[in-house]
Structure 1
Amino acid sequence: MLSLKDILAMSSPMRLATIALLLAQPGVSQTYTDCNPLQSSNCPPDAALGQSIGVDFANGQSDQFSATGNPTYDSNGVSLSVAQQGDAPTLISDWYIMFGRVEITMKSAPGKGIVSSVVLQSNDLDEIDWEWVGTATQQVQSNYFGKGQTGSYNRAALHDAPDCQNTWHKYTIDWTSDEIVWQIDGTTVRALKAEDSLGPYPQTPMQVKFGIWAGGDPSNPQGTIDWAGGVTDYTAGPYTMLVDSISVTDYSTGSEYTWGDQSGTWSSIRSKGGEVNGNIGADTIASGNAPAVTTAAAGSNVEPYSGTHASCSTCSSPGIGGWTVSASSEPSVTNTDYPGLPSGWTVSSSGKVIPPSAAPVIDVPFRLVCLVAGSLASGFVLRLGL
């Protein structure tokens, strides 16, 4: 088996071919933003919602969302199901909001290892979440991240959601420059003031995403499987998340949002044909007397959703379906420049080959790196007749 030293000792063409092959593998999952405005000044504008909309999925597919996987529609709304390994149907908004309110009426999916998620996410990996684990029939988790930084995984909180797999509940996220408010059926269960944020406060244009995935897939890291409630038994499925309707209000106006600089602050965001906070008004939810919440600490059984956010040094690899979590006891990652790697490429302390920040971030088990590199090297040797 080849070591990292062996790979770095390869000739430049062979080494680059090895890395290119890794990037091209369909089974190698990637987590990245198409263009992170903190790393590039040439990112395209974000299409703005700029208004309020309501979608009743009982009426069928909506032109406001793009679907991945195979969601189905009937009188109950949209069904997102995991029936076999690799299933992870998701609906993603075709627009962004710059502060706003999202209300979704839904039933979470049952099942060991099954995770239902509703996520607001920006191009620079600001994020606000609701998450349901299939073995927790009376509970939902809230979470948030700024600029993809997980910190010490201490931002999640647990909330009562009675019989959430069989009862329709309305889950709300109200997001302004001052605070985030989470509500269940109109009752505030959590409020976060911007000044109390652990790490950067989410404050850049966000898409709305919701879907289901198998955190308990056997190919996932053990920490992911444990957090999701155990190994998923696909033969006992399908496991279905139901969404009746969603309403979204953009608290800003205009047709698109652009970044005035790379500060990542809300005041740097520009609106074409409108105004940031131009639609904020009396319907904004005030936190009032928000109840105290139990925030997860390192070592607890509450894990953050990390298919889209990352530590400040590297993005986490998604598991089957594209969304995954990382164990709260995961050590911090440091990257090292090695002689012989292409310019800008590094290797993390866990053996991850990390491309430049502008490229998709690959989280590949080092065994796979060695295997592919070894196979490729053998092919070169045979071809050369050595």
Structure 2
Amino acid sequence: MQYHLLYAVLAATITLVLAQNAADCNAFYNACPSNKGNTEAHINYDLTQPLALNKWTTLGGEVVAGPHGAELTINNQRDAQTIVTDYYILYGEVSVEMKASPGTGIVSSIRMLSDDDDEIDWEALGDFTDMLQTNYFGKGDASEDYNRWAWQRVTTPQEVFHNYTWVWSKEKLSWAIDSTVVRTVHYADAKGGTHFPQTPMRIRIGIWAAGDPSKSKPTIGWAGGETDYSKAPFTMYVKSIDIVNYTPAESYVYSDRSGSSDSIKISRLVSSETSATTDTATQILSSTNSSTMTPYSASQNEISGSLTVNSSLTESKNSTIPDIPLGQMTIPQIWLYLETKAQNIVDFISAKATAIFISKTGTITSAIGAWDYFCLEIFGIIIFASLMLVIFSAWVCFVLHVCTPPENNRLRF
């Protein structure tokens, strides 16, 4: 059981990452061209209008604008339509009004992706009518993918338009549904900030079939089952997109391969008060208020009145696993539930190991390298499997009474 659980987790992680569009140039390993920016601090797209859709790059076939917005459709196997901004933003707010596609195995996704594989996700699965997933990556590291994702409650996302919002600052990242915050990750939460998304990103919105028969079994299971293309077309709708860029600029340049926001040089930052060039993102973002996440003061006048998201956001209890009685879960939901429970054990072990490492060495360097973390995962899975075996054995003994000796075989005194 330990082997199969580990295999499923790793295979799902690898497959999910490969299924997404890769960055154009991986700046973590290569010297990449500058990222094109946008000098507008606030941009809004009404995608019921074809002209607005023309401002996006379309991948995987023609995307049309209808009365319900941009229509991204899967008609046949291997269809995967995506729209992408031709510019990057560095910290800000992105709000997308979307109705997800129904259909087993169909994924409606809203993502931001940088050139060094920082990533932020919303993923709505076609058969999950009361929840969707949030996720993030730093530097493309998927080793803890099943720890970073979380389930969020949402009402019939395949039938109703909802506003899905990120509020992304240097200090923290929040996900909100219809102006209610459902999850927050602070900088320090992401491996001490080393895996916190912090480099310029483009917005990518698309549809793909994780339930395609060519995908791995763990991926198909994650997606809710195998996609039946005889029920196509599968369509997601994007009615509007609102983008607030905290650091509007003509371009962003990676000055080194550290993957840190401090290494990002911003070219010709434009605001209503001044036009300037700054060396690093840190200088520009130093005045960002971490509690309200209002844009830096230089562009305050330019976008006055445009930031309506922060003032209306309210906190909501985060849910990392489906809040459903175990007996009522589907097989994919049970699988995710067990994975999450197993990961909790691994996290506990990892935290203990890190504390011991720090106390023994006097350094805060992570004790959980690739090999150490792999070993800890194996150990955690063995413990989890052992606990499950004990629970199952107890159930067999006490419910089926197979452990009760026959009356005539009992010792009599």
C-alpha contact (below 8 Å) 1:66/1:94 kept by paired residues: yes
Alpha-carbon separation, structure 2, partners of 1:58 and 1:87: 22
Alpha-carbon separation, structure 1, partners of 2:141 and 2:158: 31
Aligned to 2:62: 70
- CA RMSD of superposed structures (Å): 2.9
Runs of 4+ in 1 over 3 A off after TM superposition: 28-32, 275-292, 294-299, 301-304
Match of 1:188 among 178, 181, 188: 181
Q: SS in structure 1 opposite 2:48?
A: helix
Structure 1: gaps (5+ residues): 1-27, 305-331, 334-386
2:234 paired with 1:239:
yes
Equivalent residue letter for 1:64: K
2:207 paired with 1:218:
no
Aligned to 1:45: 34
Q: Say which one has the larger Rg.
A: 2
Equivalent residue letter for 1:40: N
Alpha-carbon separation, structure 2, partners of 1:122 and 1:172: 18
Residues 31, 77 of structure 1: CA spacing in aligned structure 2 closer, same or farther, 3 A cutoff? closer
How far the C-alpha of 1:77 sits from its partner, in A, is: 0.7
Alpha-carbon separation, structure 2, partners of 1:254 and 1:141: 31
Equivalent residue letter for 1:285: N
Aligned to 1:295: 320
Aligned to 1:379: none
Match of 1:35 among 5, 25, 38: 25
Q: SS in structure 1 opposite 2:148?
A: coil
C-alpha contact (below 8 Å) 1:156/1:303 kept by paired residues: no
Residues 130, 107 of structure 1: CA spacing in aligned structure 2 closer, same or farther, 3 A cutoff? same
For residues 183-213 of structure 1, the C-alpha deviation after alignment (integer angstroms, 9 at most, x for no partner) is: 1111111111111124610100000000101
Aligned to 2:130: 138
Number of aligned residue pairs: 279
Equivalent residue letter for 1:133: L
Alpha-carbon separation, structure 2, partners of 1:34 and 1:169: 30
Deviates more, 1:119-128 or 1:144-153: 144-153
How far the C-alpha of 1:70 sits from its partner, in A, is: 2.4
Structure 2: gaps (5+ residues): 1-17, 270-277, 286-294, 301-306, 323-333, 341-369, 372-413
Aligned to 2:116: 124
2:104 paired with 1:79:
no
How far the C-alpha of 1:250 sits from its partner, in A, is: 1.0
Q: SS in structure 2 opposite 1:270?
A: strand
Equivalent residue letter for 1:269: I
The aligned runs of 1:84-99 (5 Å cut-off) are 84-99=76-91
Return the TM-score normalized by structure 2. 0.62
Aligned to 2:249: 254
Alpha-carbon separation, structure 2, partners of 1:203 and 1:84: 36
2:92 paired with 1:100:
yes
How far the C-alpha of 1:35 sits from its partner, in A, is: 1.8
Alpha-carbon separation, structure 2, partners of 1:29 and 1:212: 11
Q: SS in structure 2 opposite 1:235?
A: helix
Alpha-carbon separation, structure 2, partners of 1:29 and 1:192: 24
Q: SS in structure 2 opposite 1:58?
A: coil
Alpha-carbon separation, structure 2, partners of 1:38 and 1:204: 11
C-alpha contact (below 8 Å) 2:179/2:313 kept by paired residues: no
How far the C-alpha of 1:163 sits from its partner, in A, is: 1.4
Alpha-carbon separation, structure 1, partners of 2:22 and 2:158: 31
C-alpha contact (below 8 Å) 2:152/2:320 kept by paired residues: no
- Structure 1 vs Structure 2: percent identity of aligned residues? 36
C-alpha contact (below 8 Å) 1:255/1:273 kept by paired residues: yes
Alpha-carbon separation, structure 1, partners of 2:186 and 2:73: 35
Alpha-carbon separation, structure 2, partners of 1:241 and 1:121: 20
The aligned runs of 1:249-288 (5 Å cut-off) are 249-274=244-269, 276=281, 277=284, 279-280=295-296, 283=307, 285=310
Alpha-carbon separation, structure 1, partners of 2:338 and 2:82: 23
Alpha-carbon separation, structure 2, partners of 1:210 and 1:63: 14
Alpha-carbon separation, structure 2, partners of 1:302 and 1:294: 15
For residues 47-102 of structure 1, the C-alpha deviation after alignment (integer angstroms, 9 at most, x for no partner) is: 01232110001111434310012212111111111111011110011000011110
* More helix, by proportion: 2
How far the C-alpha of 1:280 sits from its partner, in A, is: 3.2
For residues 260-303 of structure 1, the C-alpha deviation after alignment (integer angstroms, 9 at most, x for no partner) is: 11111111101110154465367473898744423369962699
Equivalent residue letter for 2:336: S
How far the C-alpha of 1:32 sits from its partner, in A, is: 4.0
